[in-house]
């Protein structure tokens, strides 16, 4: 057995969690990375690995949809046929009247005689016409033997009518064939009438088309074999339109709907031998019924035509020894073989003929016409295929066959030459074959003639042509097409060989090669898949699922995956004949017969999991079928494989398997496989973590349907798990959400955090009572702590403070109806739900807009329920007090919104306590369009703080409430900001196309307004119905206002939690599925009804169809199978623009590094006082960062703006907002991926990390990713902000600041790796990493201590390698020299700078003593032994000193420059204001260029000038930028 092929798959690394390499020499692995995999790289790859790219995958490039318009599937028409008519009966009406010529035809002499290859003059007339009828019957049967053919010989008018009516009666609504041979009757009349005979054959009787239509009905196909046949076609349309109009009028008169009861007469098909003014050819070399012969015996007719028209034979150019010279017309009629056997000459020619005519039709006809004529019915397809041959042959005799529908003439199509070549190769062997046959019959030879037959190379040649097209033309648009307008795609040139390749699938010898080529074709994109489907590939690949051939499995799996990624309607086709088991066997964890033994087996297993997930998606029959063949167990077992794609799709398959399907969820509950799935949450691949959350989301009730779908709403939790107790089910649902939250709440990938919000939203919907109780407890505790804090500060509080929550919980747990362990269990549950609510608050202020919008939806839902709950009637409740103050009878609908916004302050009012009368007038509020987030106005509502307390303060914006633009307070500030805002580009917020966005919990105008009535009393005074009615039902308006009957908080807790359990009982008692709308709310536009369960939780005007949220992750992940995977990325394709650009950058960067190393020694001993220019930044430059290789410098100001400058041309390239919250600023800036596609990383003081792409291009700057790197800070006297160190080689980001730890984030896997305890008593004020190794880092602290840490050490006691305590004050800067020089440079704010050898920590190598002015900033060159420092500013400073020192010999340092920088008066100094606010900016306003001998110093004058200075190195040491870019002149000094 031949070895199975290995398809040339090239994994799209952009879809993986693996970083990209900018160099082709780096062997990119195709599998999921593991922690520390970079450490195992060989030493020679150190330089290469520095070029790894992070945050460059598809998920970081915005929307997952393909950008090409031609890939938009919405514009592609369905490839499936709307209706598939069958032809069931055919009437062959032969009017020859042999011996009597018609009066209007003058025949030549000699003349064409044969009819159906029979010469009627050689037989008696009655036997001749019978033989002709039999032959015609047999010829038609070769087209479709299942049709009932019946010849009618010389029919009379009566017989014609009778047989036509009988045919329609037997065919019912199917198609009928009417064949008419009129060689023995006059031509059709100009009005289209045809002729038959009377009973005695004494007269020709005309038959009108109108009568014929009435007898035959519709649908019908007509074949007209007669001269002047065009007259029939010209008149048929008029008659058909008349009949259709009559039928419509009859329908309307009968009162039926518009339209026709059956198929329109105008849709009849016609094939006519010639036009109206033409006569059939009469050449004696031709059959008289040439048109019929072309239609019913095309191979014999084509061979005869080839012999007659052979130019070599006609011109006498054949060699007498050439076998072709012996071929005669009669000889070709004896060609051996069977039409059905493709191994014989006749069968092979028929096969080739089918391929050629199919291809000509596909290339020449419109797609709709092609599908209608060639893909609906076997007989119709055969007739029209052979009609193309009739066009070719009869046009040679000045006769033009016509048809309805009219199709373009293809008689001179270039593919006919391929047919002639195949025929010539076959006929060249014919004399030898006939000689062998004759010798065998004579007993002279035992050699079978077919054993020496050499098969045609037609298909092999066209497969080769198709392969060439795939190599060179597959990805290239049609260059000859006119240049389209913007937004209009360039049409591709489809491959001409595609229908031929389809025919090759019938051949076992060529099948594998053809399938591989088809798989390469469909890999080109959705357009190629749709093209393949439209031409008819689907029946072939469906039948091949039954093939046991192992070598076909990889290719079939690949093709099926591509088809299902485009068209999900094939679910039912997969179930037919259990075809889906083909893929379940591949996925099975244990070896089975026919299992894959190929190198990339996991790739195909992932495809199989994808195929099965599509089979299960929103398709109960598919779910049941997969559940019955242990697909769940197979997927769980495959989670142990080390392949991210396989694990992702196994999880997504599990998600679709149990979505809205209780039996599958029960299997999971019983199997105790939670640990395997929870383990996926710790995967190093982002996609795997997101897929695991998606699976848990569907388990807990999230819908698996696309976001835009209106079908499955979701909800219902884990369904009716009757095998569990209700308490167990509550524990499982809440516990799973809690476990997910604990695993990924601090994930660095927004994709994962979005899925977490969906999971929590499922629990919020099902256990809303618990969540409202947790939210109430949270807010009451925050309010109590706030009031207690104000009281301790001396603020007078009228009411005596009491801890309402503690009292309520104590009373709740003192109920003697329950056991103590039950009370403890309830407290544990409430605590868990409270943590979930706090997590939602954190997520609602996530720096990623989409995550924040989704979490805000869930938080708003809880708040809306909380405000409308019975907690508003609890005495002393902060909610009750706020309701009293903010209730307005004129605006009842906005009551809960205003209250939720007002109460969101957590009781902390800036102007005084709650009783302050100024707080009773809230500003005019309106609900903003929080879904608009591409510009600053929409995303400004999301500028929120990260801590929980600050989240409460900004809850007004979190719930979508902003100050109305019409209010006086906002108009002035808006005008002031407008001018400056126009100058700043707002980065694009990466809202994906599958984003749900923000959804308000309040009904809009599209919801029916229903106010519920009070529910009926419960069955007993102590029953749960009464408690729900009293404390959980919809409250009257007086109660909402806080003026109703007071209730106990413990009673409300009991009622709300009991209501949740009763909702679960209702779900379980019905045994309902999760998607059957158990609450009955969706039928009422999401509003509650007056008699439904859970009415109190969805009080009055709160929509209940908001939750659970929907995820778009499945559709996003499915894009992987719509994108090319076999083609290498442009970056790896030699000669491509991207490849050439990267190669040029690589050479340029290497040259720059070499020149820099050559100049390091010179720069450490020569002057640095040459000005290289100034940049007028127009704002105070707090942070500066040079790009290592591009002439770019980033400058940040004291707000949230980033300016990108070209420091060569002194031109500002871009200015954009960092989008951090007001009151915070950017505290760190880094360029990452500098060797290839650069990104910019910023850290802001509120703890958020943002990564921008296209930072230098205005209006194109966009967020690649963002996450909150700081979770908890400690209060300090002077904040150092958020300080970061970036390690490009390892992809590690070190984050420190006002914390007790340094947080280590891994960009490769996008998650938090570990926290390294600082072991310090002060906050971290400076941090630097050991590049390029990145194993150690050094940190300085506010108490003057400097520590060296080893990241590799696991034990906390071994993390700190060295500690230096010589500094006595705030460390402003630390720096580790690169390379073998192990110098450490530290500087403190008193001006003292020390240079250390890390191997000798006792004494510094060199010390610059402290100075009275202190130290503002300290910078050290990465390569040269040069440091620079600026003096600190005081209230009387007018200038700032910049001193540059060389320390190549630490014992004898050299002052290289001393410069003065002018400053502004102290009252304008931004540092002064920052210190008032307690924030000390890091010392990054002075930076060296990483490679060039250049330094940038941020000035503090009025214009925020950035000054550049450089060391003029001689040309022998370093080349200029201009030289490296190919222009400029060379001077002695730069």
Quote the CA–CA distance of 1211 and 1205 in Å, as a whole number: 6
1493 touches 1155 (CB < 8 A): no
pLDDT at res. 859:
94
Give the residue carrying structure tokens 């597959």: 474
Tokens of 1422: 């990465």
For residue range 1114-1128, list pLDDT tens digits in order. 999 999 999 988 887
User: What value does the mean pLDDT of the chain take?
Assistant: 79
At 1191, the pLDDT band (50, 70, 90 cuts) reads very high
Q: What is the torsion angle, in degrees rounded to the nearest 10, for the CA atoms of residue 922, residue 923, residue 929 and residue 934?
A: -120
pLDDT at res. 45:
36
Tokens of 1200: 């949230």
Tokens of 512: 């594998």
Closest CA to 1283 of 1265, 1303, 1266, 1267: 1303
663-669 average pLDDT score: 90
Residue 252 has pLDDT above 60, yes or no: yes
645 touches 686 (CB < 8 A): no
393-402 average pLDDT score: 93
pLDDT at res. 696:
96
DSSP letter string, 764-775: HHHTHHHHHHHH
pLDDT at res. 923:
29
Quote the CA–CA distance of 869 and 1227 in Å, as a whole number: 44
First to last CA, the chain: 70
pLDDT at res. 652:
97
Q: Considering the chain, what percentage of its residues have pLDDT values greater than 90?
A: 42
Give the residue carrying structure tokens 């593919």: 415
470-487 average pLDDT score: 57
Which residues touch 480 (CB under 8 Å, ≥6 apart)?
Answer: none
Quote the CA–CA distance of 213 and 395 in Å, as a whole number: 30
* Longest CA–CA separation in the chain, Å: 134
Residue 962 has what DSSP assignment?
E
Phi, psi of 1488 (to 5 degrees): -90, 150
Residue 1073 has pLDDT above 60, yes or no: no
Residue 1073, Ramachandran bin (φ over 0: left; ψ between -120 and 50: alpha; else beta) = beta
1004-1019 average pLDDT score: 43
1306: enclosing H helix or E strand: strand 1301-1306
1261-1266 average pLDDT score: 94
For residue range 332-352, list pLDDT tens digits in order. 888 888 888 888 999 999 999
Task: Tally the C-alpha atoms within 13 A of residue 431's C-alpha that lie toward its C-beta.
Answer: 11
pLDDT at res. 8:
53
Tokens of 1039: 């109660």
pLDDT at res. 459:
93
pLDDT at res. 944:
32
Which residues touch 382 (CB under 8 Å, ≥6 apart)?
Answer: 143, 144
Judge residue 84's burial from the number of C-beta atoms within 10 Å of its C-beta, 0-12 exposed, 13-18 middle, 19 or more buried.
exposed
- What are the residue ranges of helices labelled H in 286-377? 290-296, 298-309, 311-314, 329-332, 345-364, 367-374
Preceding amide of 405 cis, omega within 30: yes
Judge residue 454's burial from the number of C-beta atoms within 10 Å of its C-beta, 0-12 exposed, 13-18 middle, 19 or more buried.
exposed
For residue range 778-817, list pLDDT tens digits in order. 999 988 888 888 777 766 555 555 788 998 999 888 877 7
Q: Which residues of 103-139 are buried (b: 16+ CB within 10 A; e: fewer)?
A: eebeeeeeebbbbbbbebeeeeeeebbebbbebbbeb
pLDDT at res. 260:
61
Tokens of 285: 């070399």
Quote the CA–CA distance of 995 and 972 in Å, as a whole number: 35
Task: Tally the C-alpha atoms within 13 A of residue 457's C-alpha that lie toward its C-beta.
Answer: 6
Quote the CA–CA distance of 574 and 556 in Å, as a whole number: 13
Quote the CA–CA distance of 205 and 185 in Å, as a whole number: 9
Give the residue carrying structure tokens 């383990």: 679
85-103 average pLDDT score: 90
Quote the CA–CA distance of 402 and 387 in Å, as a whole number: 9
384 touches 361 (CB < 8 A): yes
The strand pairing partners of 1463, in sequence order, are 1500
For residue range 673-731, list pLDDT tens digits in order. 888 899 999 999 999 999 999 999 999 999 998 888 877 678 888 888 888 888 999 99
| Mode of pairing for the β-strands spanning 1282-1287 and 1406-1408 | unpaired
Tokens of 170: 């037997």
Q: Mutual orientation of helices 553-566 and 526-535 as an angle, nearest 10°? A: 100
At 7, the pLDDT band (50, 70, 90 cuts) reads low
Quote the CA–CA distance of 1186 and 1195 in Å, as a whole number: 9
Is pLDDT larger for residue 474 or for residue 758?
Answer: 758
Please state the separation of Cα 857 from the chain's center in Å.
23
Quote the CA–CA distance of 1055 and 1070 in Å, as a whole number: 22
For residue range 843-866, list pLDDT tens digits in order. 999 999 999 999 999 999 999 888
Give the residue carrying structure tokens 């509120």: 1246
Residue 892 has pLDDT above 60, yes or no: no
Phi, psi of 1003 (to 5 degrees): -65, 150
Tokens of 112: 């064409």
Residue 1414 has pLDDT above 80, yes or no: yes
For residue range 190-215, list pLDDT tens digits in order. 999 999 999 888 899 999 998 998 89
pLDDT at res. 1470:
52
In the chain, count H helices and then E strands: 48, 38
Quote the CA–CA distance of 1098 and 1088 in Å, as a whole number: 7
DSSP letter string, 101-128: --TT----SS----BTTB-GGGS-HHHH
- What are the residue ranges of helices labelled H in 495-550? 498-504, 511-522, 526-535, 538-543
- What are the residue ranges of helices labelled H in 172-289? 209-216, 230-253
Q: How many other CB atoms sit within 10 Å of the CB of residue 1208?
A: 15
Give Rg (Cα) of the chain. 42
Judge residue 818's burial from the number of C-beta atoms within 10 Å of its C-beta, 0-12 exposed, 13-18 middle, 19 or more buried.
middle
Residue 1259, Ramachandran bin (φ over 0: left; ψ between -120 and 50: alpha; else beta) = left
Give the residue carrying structure tokens 């194993």: 1335
Lowest mean pLDDT among 21-35, 45-59, 596-610, 644-658: 21-35
For residue range 625-650, list pLDDT tens digits in order. 999 999 999 999 999 999 999 999 99
pLDDT at res. 138:
94
Residue 934 has pLDDT above 60, yes or no: no
Residue 991 has pLDDT above 90, yes or no: no
Q: Which residues of 38-49 are buried (b: 16+ CB within 10 A; e: fewer)?
A: beeeeeeeeebb
For residue range 1014-1047, list pLDDT tens digits in order. 333 333 333 333 333 333 333 333 344 445 678 8
Closest CA to 67 of 1261, 1265, 1117, 1122: 1122
């Amino acid at each position: 057995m031949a070895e199975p092929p290995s398809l040339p798959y090239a994994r799209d690394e952009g879809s993986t969690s693996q970083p990209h390499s900018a160099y082709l020499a780096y062997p990119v692995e195709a599998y999921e990375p593991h922690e520390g995999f970079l450490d195992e790289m060989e030493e020679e790859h150190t330089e290469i690995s520095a070029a790894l790219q992070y945050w460059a995958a598809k998920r970081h490039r915005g929307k997952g949809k393909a950008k090409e318009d031609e890939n938009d599937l919405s514009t592609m028409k369905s490839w499936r046929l709307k209706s598939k008519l069958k032809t069931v009966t055919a009437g062959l009406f032969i009017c020859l009247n042999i011996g009597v010529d018609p009066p209007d035809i003058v025949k030549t002499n000699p003349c064409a005689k044969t009819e159906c290859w029979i010469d009627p003059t050689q037989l008696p007339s009655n036997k001749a016409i019978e033989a002709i009828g039999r032959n015609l019957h047999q010829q038609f049967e070769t087209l479709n033997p299942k049709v009932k053919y019946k010849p009618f010989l010389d029919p009379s008018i009566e017989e014609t009518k009778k047989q036509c009516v009988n045919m329609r009666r037997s065919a019912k609504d199917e198609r009928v064939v009417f064949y008419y041979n009129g060689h023995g009757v006059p031509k059709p009349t100009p009005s289209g009438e045809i002729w038959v005979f009377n009973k005695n054959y004494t007269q020709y009787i005309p038959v009108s088309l109108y009568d014929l239509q009435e007898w035959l009905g519709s649908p019908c196909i007509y074949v007209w074999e007669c001269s002047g046949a065009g007259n029939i076609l010209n008149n048929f349309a008029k008659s058909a339109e008349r009949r259709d109009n009559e039928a419509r009028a009859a329908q309307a008169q009968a009162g039926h709907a518009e339209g026709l009861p059956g198929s329109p007469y105008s849709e009849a098909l016609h094939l006519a031998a010639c036009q109206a003014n033409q006569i059939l050819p009469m050449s004696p070399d031709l059959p008289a019924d040439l048109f019929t012969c072309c239609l019913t015996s095309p191979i014999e007719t084509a061979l005869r035509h080839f012999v007659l028209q052979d130019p070599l034979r006609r011109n006498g150019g054949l060699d007498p020894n050439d076998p072709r010279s012996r071929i005669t017309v009669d000889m070709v009629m004896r060609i051996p073989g069977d039409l059905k056997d493709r191994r014989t000459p006749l069968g092979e020619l028929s096969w080739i003929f089918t391929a050629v005519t199919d291809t000509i039709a596909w290339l020449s006809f419109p797609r709709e016409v092609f599908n209608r004529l060639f893909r609906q019915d076997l007989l119709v397809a055969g007739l029209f295929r052979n009609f193309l041959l009739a066009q070719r042959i009869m046009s040679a005799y000045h006769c033009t066959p016509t048809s309805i529908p009219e199709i373009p003439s293809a008689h001179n199509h270039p593919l006919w030459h391929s047919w002639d070549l195949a025929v010539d190769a076959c006929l060249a062997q014919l004399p030898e074959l006939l000689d062998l046959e004759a010798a065998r019959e004579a007993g002279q030879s035992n050699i079978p003639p077919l054993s020496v037959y050499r098969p045609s190379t037609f298909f092999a040649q066209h497969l080769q042509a198709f392969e060439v097209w795939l190599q060179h033309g597959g990805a290239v648009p049609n260059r000859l097409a006119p240049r389209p307008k913007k937004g209009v795609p360039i049409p591709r040139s489809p491959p001409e060989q595609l229908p031929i390749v389809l025919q090759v699938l019938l051949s076992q010898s060529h099948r594998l090669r053809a399938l591989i080529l088809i798989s390469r074709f469909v890999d080109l994109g959705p357009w190629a898949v749709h093209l393949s489907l439209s031409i008819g590939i689907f029946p072939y690949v469906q039948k091949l699922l039954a093939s046991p051939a192992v070598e076909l499995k990889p290719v079939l799996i690949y093709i099926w995956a591509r088809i299902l990624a485009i068209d999900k309607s094939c679910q039912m086709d997969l179930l037919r004949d259990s075809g889906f088991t083909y893929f379940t066997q591949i996925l099975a964890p244990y070896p089975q017969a026919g299992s894959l033994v190929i190198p990339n087996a996991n790739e195909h297993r992932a495809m199989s999991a994808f195929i099965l997930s599509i089979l299960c998606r929103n398709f109960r029959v598919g779910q049941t079928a997969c559940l019955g063949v242990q697909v769940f167990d197979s997927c769980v077992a495959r989670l142990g494989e080390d392949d991210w794609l396989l694990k992702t799709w196994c999880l997504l398959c599990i998600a679709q398997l149990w979505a809205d399907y209780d039996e599958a969820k029960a299997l999971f509950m019983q199997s105790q496989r939670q640990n395997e799935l929870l383990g996926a949450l710790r995967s190093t691949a982002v996609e795997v973590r997101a897929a695991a959350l998606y699976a848990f989301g569907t388990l807990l009730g999230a819908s698996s349907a696309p976001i835009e779908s209106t079908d499955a709403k979701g909800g219902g939790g884990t369904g009716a798990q009757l095998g569990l107790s209700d308490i167990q089910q509550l524990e499982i649902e809440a516990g799973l959400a809690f476990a997910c939250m604990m695993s990924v709440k601090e994930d660095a990938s927004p994709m994962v955090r979005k899925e977490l919000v969906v999971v929590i939203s499922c629990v919020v919907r099902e256990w809303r009572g618990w969540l409202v109780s947790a939210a109430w407890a949270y807010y009451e505790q925050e309010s109590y702590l706030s009031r207690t804090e104000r009281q301790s500060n001396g603020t007078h509080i009228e009411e005596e403070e009491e801890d309402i929550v503690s009292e309520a919980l104590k009373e709740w747990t003192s109920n003697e109806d329950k056991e103590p362990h039950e009370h403890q269990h309830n407290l544990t549950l409430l605590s868990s739900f409270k943590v979930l609510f706090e997590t939602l608050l954190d997520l609602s202020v996530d720096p990623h807009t989409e995550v924040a919008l989704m979490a805000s939806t869930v938080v708003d839902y809880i708040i809306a329920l909380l405000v409308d709950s019975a907690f508003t009637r609890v005495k002393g409740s902060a909610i009750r007090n706020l309701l009293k103050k903010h209730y307005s009878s004129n605006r009842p609908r906005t009551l809960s919104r205003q209250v939720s916004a007002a109460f969101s302050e957590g009781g902390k009012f800036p102007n005084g306590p709650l009783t302050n009368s100024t707080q009773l007038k809230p500003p005019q509020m309106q609900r903003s369009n929080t879904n608009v987030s591409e510009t600053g106005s929409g995303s400004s509502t999301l500028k929120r703080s990260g801590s929980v307390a600050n989240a409460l303060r900004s809850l007004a914006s979190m719930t979508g409430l902003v100050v109305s633009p019409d209010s006086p307070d906002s108009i002035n500030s808006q005008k002031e900001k407008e001018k400056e805002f126009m100058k700043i580009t707002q980065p694009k917020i990466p809202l994906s196309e599958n984003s749900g966005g923000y959804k308000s919990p309040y009904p809009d105008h599209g919801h029916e307004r229903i106010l519920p009535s009070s529910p009926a009393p419960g069955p007993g005074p102590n029953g749960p119905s009464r408690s729900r009615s009293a404390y959980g039902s919809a409250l009257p308006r007086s109660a909402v206002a806080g003026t109703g009957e007071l209730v106990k908080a413990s009673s409300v807790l009991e009622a709300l939690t009991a209501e949740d359990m009763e909702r679960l009982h209702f779900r379980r008692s019905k045994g309902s599925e999760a998607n059957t709308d158990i609450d009955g709310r969706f039928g009422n536009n999401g509003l509650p009804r007056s008699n439904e369960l859970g009415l109190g939780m969805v009080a009055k005007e709160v929509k209940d169809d908001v939750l659970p949220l929907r995820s778009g992750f499945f559709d996003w992940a499915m894009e992987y199978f719509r994108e090319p995977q076999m083609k290498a990325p442009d970056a790896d394709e030699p000669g491509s623009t991207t490849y050439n650009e990267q190669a040029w950058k690589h050479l340029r960067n290497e040259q720059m590094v070499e020149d820099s190393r050559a100049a390091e020694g010179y720069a450490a001993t020569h002057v640095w006082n040459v000005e290289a220019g100034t940049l007028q930044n127009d704002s105070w430059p707090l942070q500066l960062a040079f790009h290592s290789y591009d002439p770019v410098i980033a400058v940040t100001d004291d707000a949230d703006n980033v300016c990108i400058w070209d420091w060569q041309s002194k031109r500002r390239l871009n200015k954009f907002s960092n989008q951090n919250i007001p009151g915070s600023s950017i505290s760190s800036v880094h360029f990452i991926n500098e060797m290839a596609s650069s990104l910019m990383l910023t850290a802001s003081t509120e703890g958020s990390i943002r990564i921008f792409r296209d930072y230098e291009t205005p209006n194109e700057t966009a967020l690649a990713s963002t996450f909150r790197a700081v979770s908890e800070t400690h209060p300090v006297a002077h904040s150092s902000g958020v300080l970061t160190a970036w390690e490009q080689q390892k992809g590690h980001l070190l984050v420190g600041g006002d914390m007790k730890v340094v947080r280590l984030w891994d960009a490769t896997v996008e998650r938090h790796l570990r926290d390294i305890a600082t072991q310090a008593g002060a906050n971290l004020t400076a941090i630097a990493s050991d590049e390029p190794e990145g194993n150690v880092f050094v940190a300085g602290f506010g108490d003057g201590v400097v520590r060296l840490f080893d990241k590799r050490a696991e034990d906390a006691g071994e993390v700190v390698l060295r500690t230096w305590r010589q500094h006595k004050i705030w460390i402003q800067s630390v720096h580790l020299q690169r390379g073998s020089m192990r110098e450490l440079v530290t500087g403190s704010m008193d001006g003292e700078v020390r240079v250390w050898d890390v191997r000798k920590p006792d004494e510094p190598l060199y010390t610059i003593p402290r100075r009275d002015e202190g130290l503002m900033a300290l910078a050290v060159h990465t390569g040269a032994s040069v440091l620079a420092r600026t003096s600190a500013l005081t209230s009387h400073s007018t200038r700032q000193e910049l001193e540059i020192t060389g320390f190549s010999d630490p014992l004898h340092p050299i002052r290289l420059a001393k410069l003065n920088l002018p400053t502004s008066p102290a009252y304008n100094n931004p540092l002064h204001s920052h210190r008032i606010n307690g924030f000390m900016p890091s010392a990054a306003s002075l930076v060296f260029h990483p490679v060039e001998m250049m330094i940038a110093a941020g000035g503090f004058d009025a214009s925020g000038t950035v000054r550049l200075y450089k060391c003029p190195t001689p040309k022998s040491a370093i080349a200029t930028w201009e030289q490296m870019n190919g222009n400029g002149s060379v001077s002695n000094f730069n």
